[in-house]
Structure 1
Amino acid sequence: MSNSNQQRSYEEENYPISPEIIYYGDRKFVYVVIQEGIYPPAVNYTEASNYFPIPDNYTIKTTWGRANNSRTIQCSIYYVEEKLHYLICFGDNLQYQVFSAQSPFDASVELHKVSYYINRKGRPRELKLHKESSKTTQIKRAKGLAKKEQVHFENTINDFYNPKDRVVLKAIDFTVENKEYHVTFGDENYVKKKQKLQSIAYVQDVENIPRDAYRYLAAVESILPREYAISQIRQEINAYMEELIPIDFIDLNSTIVQEGPSEEPDITDLLIIEQVINATGKGAYQSVKKILEYIIPSYVEKGILDPAIPTIHLRISGDGRNVG
């Protein structure tokens, strides 16, 4: 049949009363308008000869084939910085997708490539439920999903940002059956991590936050460091400070005052009496000189102390806590 005798393509529709549109051409297609979108200020147009304006966030769904051989795809057009992008979702639950910033034809080519690969591998077996999987499998799946999202993220950066922009995916958060996962990417910055742990240990000491209270808080907020990590950094700080400002012990040689012969003692247990006598007069102290040698250079550097004024006024007091 010659081109002059071919039937001109056309559409049969009653939109917006009905979202279904029938296309007649070389083949018949039925598609449904999911979202009609809106026209942006800088609108693009279809190619000649129709030259129709193209809306933003325009989405349709179409199905072709019969029975078990039928296929459904969902196609979307959206703008990014006044440039058209084309997205096709496909699969039994529209779980797969291909994307192009070039043209609808380029997106369709990608669709055929990916469809061929999926069909060649066959349908994947159904995975176990998350709650039925082992701990190792759960972690492996979370890392695998995060890695796949990282690859997708890196492959689409240039579609949204200038190549000179430094775009870095640092972390991803998601939940599976109300179980939270926080996956970080890239090499861990141990300096920043240690500074963060030291800051949390400082806040715990200043605000008198008990270890159990912080442990409960960290269980609720997964991005907080674990309590054992805070405890470990506190031990490191204590060991470091003990080297700089050692703790020395002193025997005060206190005299134990015995009750008079006519008084009945309150404590008659000989073991307890011996322990009290041995403990009385024992004390610990730190050198004020070493403390000043440690803090003065830091205070001078921060501008708190003026080297031109060599006089320092000290006040010795408690830390607000009762010590038995």
Structure 2
Amino acid sequence: MKEEGTYPKSSFIKLFDNKRTYFYEIIKEGTYPLTEQLHYTRNPKHPIPHNYVVKTQYGKAIYTVECSIEYVEKKPLYKICFGVNFSREVHSWETSTDAACKYYQEFNGMKEMEKNQNRDQSNKENKGKISGTLLFGLKLLSVERVRRTMSLDLKIRPFIDLGNSQKRRRILGLSQSILDIVERERDNTFHPDDQIKLKQIKFEIDDDVYDINFGKVNKIEEIKKIEAVVKSLDKGHISREAYRSLARIEDLPREKAVCDIRQKINAEMKKQVPLTLVDLLQPTKFEPIREEPNITDSEIITNMLELIGKGGQRRITDILNYIIPLYIEKGILIPRQSTLHIRISGDGHNVGRKVKHVMVTMTLLNDLNGLQKPDNHYTLVLYPGAETYESLKNVLTPLISDLCILKEKGFNQIGGNQWPVELYFSSDWKFLAICLGMNAANAQYFCPWCDCNKNGINTTSKKINKSMDNIKVYIHVLCNHVAEFLEIHHKFGLAAFSCSPVEKKNHMQICLYFQNTLKDGGNRNSRKSAILEMLEHENRQLYFASNRVPNFFKKSKKYRLE
């Protein structure tokens, strides 16, 4: 008969001639006992191994059995398991063919009991004998050759002298023996309902550590674990180099697998919340900033200057479509009952003496408990450059168009829900004044809400008398209007319009994303735009919240046996 296979590279072997075909999967190749204990098959003579397990498929109907040989008291015991999950078993102390004959008798009896099979046809197919040496795969010369190189006469070679494939086989062989012991002994120690499973063991040989995992890889669980790692890296803003160092110390997913999952999340989120990089009309020369700079790091300032003229945007409707299901699930929003109270905020952060990092965000005032968290303020627009009326008008044109539609028609969520919308605006005085096209704070008419002038600045009887169609409310230092704001918007309270979370978000993003050390390991040629990295980071936070990516996994309990 002809043998086809690449054993030991592959454990699958085919043995065939013109009439018969057998398929084998070598589970445990086994070893040969001492010469005086070794038994052989009849003509032709083949040595019979110890601790040998093979899965065999034969016949036109492709029947599958699991055959094993184990020396007990210097004599081979032949076993054949068959049926559903190999639940039925026959064995023989005589020969492999004797075990095969017993199997055939049992198999025929089992077939006769099946109601939906033709008894005569079944008897016809299974009539006769089958060779035990073929069923047990004892004629496989490739396995025999490997077996002879491993442990002839049980002369075990030192582990350090073995090749990689031999080391692997020895480790897996020992692991299989441990698994067999656990399977045999578990019912003596644990209740059947405990469902004990051996998941992993660890060996240390010559200062090398080997982890052996049992069972098939659960790809879904693996992906969830890597997503949790990506979430933790984003939360701590850990660089790739730092993660590589951690992975060398602790048993963590490889950095490439983490990078692949991050890119997959980015690509998936860009389909639902697209990111747009736009060229902005910016002056070639900047007026010096008179206020104290918030950021003085020279490296951050240099990187910021390189990106002037580039801005990033996300549409407010895309973000609403993504976050509204989360707010409904939390019970914050109720379809056909709630109104979307959308607060737009803006902040310009001084980077050095010339440039600002400008951010425009949105949040839902419906979530009063989450308004002080920077992550609940979703970035709509980012750009480095001048904080002027012309720049804001240029970059905010798409947002203004969306806000006009939301104010007039409400928000038509994908899926059918229609939401009424109320718009609010909150920022510091300077950003608000720039949006309104007003002059500086020392102008003759400085107040956005009333007609108070510099000469009447101490007057406390001024009321809101300007139209606020575009901007609903702002917590201003002018105490004249605070009482009115509280009266009009008492259901939200003062804290709901605090700009502190937005300012904190802006400051953190500048410090974290405009440093060379965090940008692809410092490789200048492959660095992304920091604006794009910020928006991708925010998209990933939406993904983690929507897909309930856990912050941690339940850790195993550890015991030590000394």
* TM-score relative to the length of structure 1: 0.52
Q: CA deviation at 1:208?
A: 1.3
Asked whether the 8 Å contact 1:249–1:285 carries over to 2, the reply is yes
1:150 positional shift: 1.0
> Cα–Cα, structure 1 residues 277 and 216, in superposed 2: closer, same or farther, change >3 Å?
closer
Pairing partner for 2:206 from 165, 177, 184? 177
Offset, 1:299: 2.7
Contact residue 204 and residue 210 of structure 2 kept, 8 A: yes
CA gap of 1:243–1:129, structure 2 versus 1, over 3 A, is same
After TM superposition, give the deviation of residue 164 of structure 1 in Å: 4.3
Choose from 260, 280, 289 the match for 1:252. Answer: 280
1:11: which partner in 2?
A: none
Asked if the contact 2:159–2:167 (Cα under 8 Å) also holds between the matched residues in 1, the reply is: no
Q: In the alignment, which of 323, 327, 344 is matched to residue 299 of structure 1?
A: 327
The Cα of 1:285 is off from its aligned counterpart by 1.4
Find the residue that maps to 1:318 and give its secondary structure. helix
Aligned residue number for residue 156 of structure 2: 126
Pair 302,125 (structure 1): closer, same or farther in 2 beyond 3 Å: farther
Query: What does residue range 86-101 of structure 1 map to in structure 2 within 5 Å?
Result: none
In 2, distance between residues paired with 1:129 and 1:288?
Answer: 63
Deviations 1:155-212 (A, max 9, x none): 2122222344422111112211222222111222222111111011100011111222
Q: How far 1:251 moved relative to its partner? A: 2.1
- CA–CA separation in structure 2 for the residues paired with 1:187 and 1:246: 37
* In structure 2, C-alpha distance between the alignment counterparts of 1:145 and 1:196, rounded to whole Å: 29
Cα distance in structure 2, aligned partners of 1:245 and 1:232: 20
Q: Is the 8 A contact 1:197 1:225 kept in 2?
A: yes
Q: For residues 202-213 of structure 1, what are the structure 2 equivalents within 5 Å? A: 202-213=231-242
Distance 1:157 1:287, change over 3 A: same
**How far does residue 294 in structure 1 lie from its aligned partner after superposition?**
0.8
Judge conservation of contact 1:256–1:277 (CA < 8 Å) in 2: no
* Counterpart residue identity of residue 266, structure 2: N
The residue that corresponds to 1:168 in the other structure is 197
For 1:239, give the aligned amino acid. A
User: Structure 1 pair 299/177, CA: closer, same or farther in 2 (3 Å)?
Assistant: farther
1:77-101 deviation line (CA, Å, top 9, x unaligned): xxxxxxxxxxxxxxxxxxxxxxxxx
Structure 1 distance, partners of 2:202, 2:338, is 54
Whether 1:318 aligns to 2:506 is yes
| Deviation (angstroms), 1:288 | 2.3
Instruction: Give the aligned partner of residue 141 of structure 1.
Output: 170
Question: Displaced runs of 4+ in structure 1, greater than 6 A?
Answer: 276-279
Q: Deviations over 1:106-128 (max 9, x none)?
A: xxxxxxx744259xx98401223
Residues 212 and 139 of structure 1: CA distance in aligned 2, closer, same or farther (over 3 Å): farther
Code of the residue aligned with 2:267 in structure 1: it is A
What is the TM-score normalised by the length of structure 2?
A: 0.31
Evaluate the alpha carbon distance shift between residue 247 and residue 152 of structure 1 in structure 2; reply closer, same or farther with a 3 A threshold. same
Paired residue total: 192
CA distance in 1, matches of 2:507, 2:154: 64
> Which protein, 1 or 2, shows the higher relative CO under an 8 Å CA cutoff with sep ≥ 6?
2
Question: 1:289-313, CA deviations, whole angstroms, 9 ceiling, x for partnerless residues?
Answer: 2122112212321335455442244
State the Cα distance separating 1:231 from its structure 2 match: 1.1
* AA in 1 matched with 2:269: M
CA contact (8 A) 1:171 1:183 kept: yes
Please identify which structure carries the higher helix content: 2
| Aligned amino acid, residue 127 of structure 1 | R
Identity among equivalent positions (%) equals 30
Residue type at the aligned position of 2:508 = G
* CA-based RMSD: 3.1
* 2:155 partner letter: R
**Which ranges of structure 1 fall in alignment gaps of 5 or more residues?**
1-112, 260-275
Contact 1:173 1:181 in 2 (8 A): yes
Q: Distance in 2 between matches of 1:230 and 1:158?
A: 40
Contact persistence 2:247–2:253 (CA under 8 A): yes
Instruction: Say which SS state the counterpart of residue 188 (structure 1) adopts.
Output: coil
- Aligned-partner residue type, residue 263 of structure 2: Q
Q: Distance in 2 between matches of 1:290 and 1:128?
A: 64
